[in-house]
Amino acid sequence: MKVWAADRRGFKTFTRLGANTELNHPSDTHWSLEALGVRPEAQKQGLGGRLVRPMLERADSEGIECYLETSNPANIDYYARFGFHVLSEVSLIPNGPPHVAMRRRVAAGPPG
């Protein structure tokens, strides 16, 4: 409750964002790619792919689709290389950041 006491308006927005995110999250069986980041100076060296590929390979071998969310539309093309497609592109709160939900079907061949 310290967040609520420190910024009541911000806490209300934060809880609305969480609730709206949950409403948009798929309810079927899937794996979620939760967080991925590579420092800008280390990007474009294949590090992100080396982090993502093993998870996607395992998901494929188990026949499980994958899901991710990003607030940066510039990431869409990056994740599309691994077979993800856009499910929705919205803002979950008024004047909030974009929310892009992406899904990847089980692939027959090696990812990305």
- pLDDT tier at 60 (50, 70, 90 boundaries)? very high
Q: Is the dihedral of CA 65, 71, 76, 81 positive or negative?
A: negative
pTM exceeds 0.75, yes or no = no
What CATH code would you report for 2-104?
3.40.630.30
- pLDDT value, residue 5: 53
Domain residue ranges in the chain = 2-104
Nearest residue to 20 (alpha-carbon basis) of 104, 103, 90: 90
- pLDDT value, residue 84: 96
Q: Is the pLDDT of residue 13 over 50?
A: yes
- In angstroms, what CA-CA distances link 42 with 38, 39, 46, 48, 75? 6, 5, 9, 10, 16
- In angstroms, what CA-CA distances link 16 with 1, 3, 20, 40? 16, 14, 6, 31
- pLDDT value, residue 27: 74
Q: Is the pLDDT of residue 12 over 60?
A: no
